[in-house]
Amino acid sequence: MIRQPDDASLGGELTGGEEALIEEFWAPLAVGHAGAWGLKDDAATIAVPPGDELVVTTDALIAGVHFFPDEDPFSVGWKALAVNVSDLVAKAAAPLAYVMNIALPASVTREWLSRFAQGLEAAQGAFGCRLIGGDTDRTPGPLSASITAFGTTPAGGMLSRSGARAGDRVYVTGTIGDATLGLALRRDPQSGARWGCTPEAATYLAGRLSRPRPPLAIVTALRACASAGMDISDGLMKDFSRLCRASGAGGRIEAGRVPLSDAARAAIEAGAMPAELLAGGEDYEVLACVPGPRAATFEAMAAESGIRVTCIGSIEERESGIGAFDSDGARLHFPRMGWDHFA
Amino acid sequence: MIRQPDDASLGGELTGGEEALIEEFWAPLAVGHAGAWGLKDDAATIAVPPGDELVVTTDALIAGVHFFPDEDPFSVGWKALAVNVSDLVAKAAAPLAYVMNIALPASVTREWLSRFAQGLEAAQGAFGCRLIGGDTDRTPGPLSASITAFGTTPAGGMLSRSGARAGDRVYVTGTIGDATLGLALRRDPQSGARWGCTPEAATYLAGRLSRPRPPLAIVTALRACASAGMDISDGLMKDFSRLCRASGAGGRIEAGRVPLSDAARAAIEAGAMPAELLAGGEDYEVLACVPGPRAATFEAMAAESGIRVTCIGSIEERESGIGAFDSDGARLHFPRMGWDHFA
């Protein structure tokens, strides 16, 4: 810690000491997990039930990179956890707990932090996990929140990217492309008028970007039926390509079968960019491969759990390559295949 | 991900794609932990041995806050892991694995990242743990590396801050204050000449700041004998106060018994600030409380493990308060009690 605690450039409104910050904003999020030690110790404990193993994933949100600096802090808190839970769910893990490193610039107010904590609390309530530890720092840079999330699966039960085999069906949960449209609307609010978006549709699309809701209830069906899975965060086509490559397989997606929300369908009919929806990021839905003989069971279990699943394609032999095709069987081309901050 | 991948402000030398970065710099650090999935999947798995539980801790280093922006990247990598291992060791946990979120500004070069990875590799080799997952992002702010580290203890065996009782002896490992002197030397290289530091002593003190080495081998003795423990990262006095408060106890430190390195002793004799050594941060030694009847065993086990431990005080009844005293029994006063970025 090379800065003096009283360095003015790290000043700001939050001056009660780190322990007071923890007590006010974070400790309430830890109630109910004994191993969190009330966030008063230096570490947390996780007791993994016998026969289970722990699944760990980590993802950060940085202001100006992953969210707009003027985003509602409730949404930032919600999304910081949701993007991690999305990975757990797609790996067939039941969320259990998380730790958070948050770095705060001097401009952060008590009100901002309070809203952020409310978003986090709402998300952990929705996803069934609790804060068990963390680290709150000052930063001269943008706000960032790094979460490491923990879930459990039966030992050996983590759903990998690499288990897909030729002949498997390819499913997605929910609908695809809403967040891409939500982002386009956020960047250019006029586009909503051009696409004939109703206010309700615009709100829906914005919410799909800012408050993703990973399909928690699909975990049981994934465990019972899936051969491979991952969440769709960097764009359906890019993530599908990754899954196929990891599985040493090819694959095809029938673009016309990709499920769209009513809002997305209406926007496309009014001229929104259809191809980009398959390549845009931030869906936070699950991409799952299911061997043919288990497909009916998978669909039935998904229906029972209230999660919409749609078969959008198939896993092929490696030689077939990886692609998306329109209803005439013509290969679609994408200006870019999804998000990569270092491409 | 609100920025376009081709946003020039996020450019720089590292343009091979995130997967290429992972393959080149991070995947070699994951070899040997099957649950890391070669860093090719979206999550990692940890199989906790039956009868053990997992201990989790997290800590971030931010350029300009926790290390000098021109610091040797080898040291930054080393220290990013070491500060987390320090918490595990003080909790009596054996290090097992870690995940890392790293956010890179455009100015980071391939050479910088390579040196950073070398430091991380050296540290994980020294501490016996492996990288099992992470997230590499661009940031418009300073470089930051958030690590979440995992260790194991026998179930229920995490050493807390709150188990100390009146009558316990207070121990520290290693020597105290070296990093504070190393930081002073770094800020004002002239002070070395004033303190009559030999080049060897200056190098030693600098290394204590930049490459802390938590006393891994003390874990066995802690498990067998200690009632409470924590690492000394924000200053001996501040951390001791925290431990006493968490335990509902008072405590006293005999300042004259606090172990100093030869380099620190020489610097103090030449006029360096003695009181600040007890309040300065970054020691990354262990503060442990041991009931009197187990003290001899603790000392013998520590000696056998090659770790220097020194009894520097005692836990008292709460009413006695918390303080440090000189050899005449006079209470010492500190200009500040340690580091807090929000104080």
Subunit contact B58:A2, Cβ cutoff 8 A: no
Q: Which band of pLDDT confidence, cut at 50, 70 and 90, is reported for residue A338? A: low
Which domain does B206 fall in, by range? Answer: 169-325
Residue B339 within a domain: no
CA B305 to chain A, closest CA, distance in angstroms equals: 24
**Phi and psi, residue B246, nearest 5°:** -65, -30
- Give the CATH number for residue A273: 3.90.650.10
Residues A314 and A222 in one domain: yes
Q: Looking at residue B338, what is its pLDDT?
A: 64
pLDDT tens-digit readout, A206-224: 999 999 999 999 999 999 9
Residues B216 and B117 in one domain: no
> Quick check: A4 pLDDT over 50?
no
pLDDT tens-digit readout, A232-247: 999 999 999 999 999 9
Residues B274 and B196 in one domain: yes
The one-letter amino acid code at A336 reads R
Whole-prediction pTM value? 0.93
Residues of A in Cβ contact (< 8 Å) with B93: 43
Residue B159 within a domain: no
- Give the CATH number for residue A32: 3.30.1330.10
Subunit contact B158:A45, Cβ cutoff 8 A: yes
> Quick check: A79 pLDDT over 80?
yes
Residues B256 and B181 in one domain: yes
Q: Select the residue of A17, A35, A87 nearest B343 (Cβ to Cβ).
A: A17
Q: How many Å is the maximal CA-CA distance in chain A? A: 67
Residue A293 within a domain: yes
Residue A342 within a domain: no
Mean pLDDT of A254-268: 93
Residues of A in Cβ contact (< 8 Å) with B87: 42-43
Residue A2 within a domain: no
Q: Looking at residue A2, what is its pLDDT?
A: 57
Residues B130 and B89 in one domain: yes
Q: Which band of pLDDT confidence, cut at 50, 70 and 90, is reported for residue A19? A: confident
Q: Looking at residue B336, what is its pLDDT?
A: 65
CB count in 10 Å sphere of residue A310: 18
Global ipTM: 0.92
A interface test, pick of B146, B241, B247, B284 with most A CB neighbours within 10 Å: B146
Residue B162 within a domain: no
Q: How many A×B Cβ pairs under 8 Å?
A: 267
Residues of B in Cβ contact (< 8 Å) with A50: 50
Residues B198 and B68 in one domain: no
How much of chain A, in percent, has pLDDT values that exceed 70?
Answer: 93
Q: Select the residue of B2, B99, B234 nearest A183 (Cβ to Cβ).
A: B2
CB count in 10 Å sphere of residue B293: 9
Residues B198 and B57 in one domain: no
Closest Cα partner for A315 from A256, A245, A218, A222? A245
Residue A214 within a domain: yes
Q: Considering chain A, what is the average pLDDT of its residues?
A: 92
Could you state, in chain order, the average pLDDT of each consecutive group of 10 residues for chain B (343 residues)?
A: 45 74 95 93 94 96 94 98 98 98 95 97 98 94 97 97 98 97 91 88 95 98 98 95 96 95 90 80 97 98 98 97 91 72 53
Residue A333 within a domain: no
DSSP percent split of chain B into helix, strand, coil, nearest 5: 40, 25, 35
**Paired tokens of A138:** 């000052």
Please state the domain count of chain B.
2
Q: Looking at residue A18, what is its pLDDT?
A: 81
Residues B85 and B131 in one domain: yes
